[in-house]
Amino acid sequence: MLDISNLHVTVGAKEILKGLNLKVNEGEVHAIMGPNGSGKSTLSKVLAGHPDYAVASGTIHYDINFKPKNLLDLAPDERARAGIFLAYQYPVEVPGVNNAEFLRAAFNAICRDQGVEEMDPLDFDSYLREKIQFLGMDAKFMDRQLNVDFSGGEKKRNEILQMAVLAPRLAILDETDSGLDVDSLRLVSEGVNKLRSDSNAVVLITHYQRILSYIVPDFVHILANGQIIKSGDKSLALEIEERGYDWLLN
Amino acid sequence: MNQVSPASQAAVSFASAFAGFSRDRAGDAAWLREHRELAFADFVQIGLPTRKHEDWRYTSLRSLTEGAFSLAPQDVVSAEVLAPHVQAGDITLVLVNGRLVTPLEQLGDLPTGLLIAPLADALSVNVPAALRLLKRYATAQQPFSQLNEAFLGSGLFIEWGPRVTCERRIHIIHIGSGKDRLVTLPRHMLVLGSEAKGEVVETFVSSDEGTTSFTNTVTDIELAAGAQLDHQRCQLEAPQALHIGRVRAELAAAAKLTSLSLSAGAKLARIDIDIGLAGQGSEVILNGLYLTREGQHVDHHTVVDHQVPNAKSRQLYKGILDGVSRAVFNGVVRVRRDAQLTQAYQMNRNLLLSSDAEIDTKPELQIDADDVKCSHGASVGQLNDDHLFYLTSRGLPPTEARRMLVQAFADDVMLHAPRLHATLRPLTMGYFL
Ligand SMILES: Nc1ncnc2c1ncn2[C@@H]1O[C@H](COP(=O)(O)OP(=O)(O)O)[C@@H](O)[C@H]1O
Ligand SMILES: [Mg+2]
């Protein structure tokens, strides 16, 4: 469903991704690991369509209605409505915007796009409540301003709640596990696993093997210096945990 | 350009309206007629302010000098004009072109001790509070309050007796009607006895989008010891209308006034809010929200005068500006020498949605006491790109994301007036984009 080929990305004058290739099929979970500053978040932002990240060359194709489409032709909101979801490493705080209201607006924007009837506030409320409970979150969060004064862990869980509500086809999780305690990690992982199906895919960016014992990846890739330098199965993550990255970098 | 003095401009624009008005009111008490004559003479003498006046530096009144005004005639409006603003449970008073059209006997049961009367009636029977307020502001040297004073007689006198609480909101709806150069000059007096409690909303609308009328309104407020008033003013006039309004209030000990000024309509709007904190422990909260689009100009001037120790004031004014438009905020906080332990806070925040919009913001702190807590701030910014990206990356179309952020900026102020907010939200939501 996602095909990234020879992708070069620059921020300002600096080249960060330098010929990255990645193929993700329906039903798969891909873990991406790599040293700090290797370009993992950059990859996720490019997929989401962040305007600061310029694609210098290469292609990204994403299947819409079973046909590969040039993802770069789509605006960020169009990508989201086409099923791409990025759980941010650092979710921004948006003062004054009500968490639940925002989620409903996003959900309904996707409904409209797909020609499905929008959900009224009451129905949406019960739909949302169910997801909140599942993720072991406090319903009070819904009345708060979007991410404002949330702790690091609360922000991460709020991202996963958004993912659970919007039910994307391609979920990209950027270090969602960092800063989560063991219980939260388990609940978040269950949330992700619940989303998994034959028609969806997950790209999991992480530093730690820990989350991968909950969400078992089909592939593990090492991103270093703007390229994927090694791919393997879940045992590669264990090996990284033991040996670090140095042995791969030279 | 030939040079016409501001004084003669003033005379040219309003003299014939004043002459006609005086003829119509020839039967009024002699003192009242004289009072009006003096006020009009004052107005002509002061003249229309030009941008050379510090108080009008950023606001041009040229559109007032483009021909004579006549007094807006009696008129009726359709129910549709009113419908969006009428709320069940309110005591609703409708003025069309400054004339009260709601029969007072139809208001139903009012709390004992609450008096609602046409100001003209209150003046004709010499209600003490009405005369007291007239006297208090008689020497005001502001041209537009003098102009309003010259046409004294329309508007309402509302008095809450001591300890009278009116849970129902009193909603005064002003409707300007007609397409010519018409002027409306209502004056209201809101007098709350000690420990009394009330809520008053003034809404200014036009009968249709083409209305070009000029509204010059003054609302005088007096709060006796421990009285509480929530006053909201909502200016939603047609895009070519002219609006000049003033709210003056004096607070006795431990009285509390909460004020909201929302200004979204009119081509030119100037709103002055003068607060005298005359009693210890009194408190005023001033909130404001102004929205401007193509061709609009809105100017808020506030003056909070801390005359005694231990009073509090808190101001939050926010503006959202789009297109070629301009807004002015000028906030004076005066702390007299005796007014120790004053707490005064003032904040003005502006959101510019277009690079052609312009804001002039000026806090003026005049502090003569030494043991006070005063702070002020102002900001001018654009929509935050990170916020926009976050919302759109969840699927919201950019216009919807922008609207949500604009609304969030406005809500900060509007949440202080929840009921007004509910009726206005569709209006403010649709205002941009
Ligand atoms: N918006 C940005 N502006 C400037 N430099 C950036 C920006 N985003 C990322 N970079 C730089 O790009 C490199 C890769 O960053 P990032 O993708 O965040 O790495 P990772 O997520 O793998 O830690 C780093 O050197 C970082 O400083
Ligand atoms: Mg990162």
- pLDDT one-digit tens code per residue, A130-183: 999 888 888 888 889 999 999 888 999 999 999 999 999 999 999 999 888 898
**What is the rounded distance in angstroms from the CA atom of residue B124 to the CA atom of residue A57?**
84
Q: A97, B404: Cβ pair inside 8 Å? A: yes
Mean pLDDT of chain B: 92
Does A200 contact B at CB distance below 8 Å?
no
pLDDT exceeds cutoff 60 at B433: no
The beta strands (E) that lie in chain A are given as: 2-11, 14-24, 29-33, 53-64, 67-70, 84-87, 170-174, 201-205, 219-224, 227-232
pTM: 0.89
Q: B389, A109: Cβ pair inside 8 Å? A: no
For the stretch B409-432, pLDDT in tens is 988 888 777 777 777 777 666 666
A-B C-beta contacts closer than 8 Å: 69
From the CA of B385, which ligand is nearest? 1
Least confident of A74-83, B48-57, B151-160, B374-383: B48-57
Query: Residue B149's pLDDT is what?
Result: 96
Query: Residue B208's pLDDT is what?
Result: 82
Q: Which helix (H) or strand (E) holds B82?
A: helix B79-82
Q: B391, A51: Cβ pair inside 8 Å? A: no
Distance A16 CA to ligand 1 centre (A): 7
Better pLDDT: B267 or B416: B267
Q: Give Cα B330 to chain centroid, integer Å.
A: 15
Query: Residue A137's pLDDT is what?
Result: 86
Does A119 contact B at CB distance below 8 Å?
no
Which of the residues B289, B316, B393 would you substitute to probe the A interface, choosing the one with the greatest number of A C-beta atoms within 10 Å? B393
Q: A109, B393: Cβ pair inside 8 Å? A: no
For the stretch A128-145, pLDDT in tens is 999 998 888 888 888 899
A75: chain B residues, CB-CB within 8 Å: 392, 398
**What is the rounded distance in angstroms from the CA atom of residue B28 to the CA atom of residue B30?**
6
Residue nearest to atom 8 of ligand 1 (CA): A42
Q: Which helix (H) or strand (E) holds B283?
A: strand B283-292
Query: Residue B3's pLDDT is what?
Result: 62
Task: Please give, rounded to a whole number of angstroms, the shortest distance from the CA of A107 to a CA of chain B.
Answer: 8
For the stretch B12-44, pLDDT in tens is 889 999 999 999 999 999 999 999 999 999 999
Distance B202 CA to ligand 1 centre (A): 54
**What is the rounded distance in angstroms from the CA atom of residue B160 to the CA atom of residue A240?**
77
Q: Which residue from B249, B263, B281, B270 is spatially nearest to B427, judged by alpha carbons? A: B263
Query: Residue B1's pLDDT is what?
Result: 46
Least confident of A60-64, B164-168, B207-211, B340-344: B207-211
Whether B272 contacts B245, CB under 8 Å: yes
pLDDT exceeds cutoff 50 at A48: yes
Average pLDDT over every residue of A31-55: 96
pLDDT exceeds cutoff 70 at B406: yes
CA angle B13, B19, B21 (to 5 degrees): 100
Q: Hey, which of A41, A46, A178, A207 would you mutate to test ligand 1's pocket, going by the most ligand atoms within 8 Å of its Cβ?
A: A41
Query: Residue B218's pLDDT is what?
Result: 97
Q: Quick one: residue B89, left, alpha or beta (phi over 0 = left, psi -120 to 50 = alpha)?
A: left
Distance A42 CA to ligand 1 centre (A): 6
Query: Residues of chain A with pLDDT > 70: what percent?
Result: 100
From the CA of A45, which ligand is nearest? 1
Is residue A56 very low, low, confident or very high in pLDDT (cuts 50, 70, 90)?
Answer: very high
From the CA of A226, which ligand is nearest? 1
Query: Residue A218's pLDDT is what?
Result: 96
* Domains of chain A, first to last: 2-249 (3.40.50.300)
Task: Please give, rounded to a whole number of angstroms, the shortest distance from the CA of B401 to a CA of chain A.
Answer: 9
Nearest CB among A77, A97, A166 relative to B392 is that of A77
Nearest CB among A50, A96, A106 relative to B394 is that of A106
Query: Residue A24's pLDDT is what?
Result: 97
Query: Residue B251's pLDDT is what?
Result: 98
Does A97 contact B at CB distance below 8 Å?
yes
Is residue B78 very low, low, confident or very high in pLDDT (cuts 50, 70, 90)?
Answer: confident
Is residue B61 very low, low, confident or very high in pLDDT (cuts 50, 70, 90)?
Answer: confident
A143: chain B residues, CB-CB within 8 Å: none
CA angle B185, B232, B189 (to 5 degrees): 45
Mean pLDDT of chain A: 93
For B394, the closest chain A residue by CA position comes to A80
For A82, the closest chain B residue by CA position comes to B395
Does A195 contact B at CB distance below 8 Å?
no
A82: chain B residues, CB-CB within 8 Å: none
Q: B395, A113: Cβ pair inside 8 Å? A: yes
Query: Residue B429's pLDDT is what?
Result: 64
For A47, the closest chain B residue by CA position comes to B393
Sign of CA dihedral A213, A216, A220, A224: negative
For the stretch B169-224, pLDDT in tens is 999 999 998 878 899 999 999 999 999 999 999 999 998 888 888 999 999 999 99
Question: Atom of ligand 1 at shortest distance to CA of A34?
Answer: 22
From the CA of A12, which ligand is nearest? 1
CA distances from A122 to A118, A127, A167, B429 (A): 12, 9, 19, 21
Query: Residues of chain B with pLDDT > 90: what percent?
Result: 76
Average pLDDT over every residue of B43-51: 89
Whether A226 contacts A39, CB under 8 Å: yes
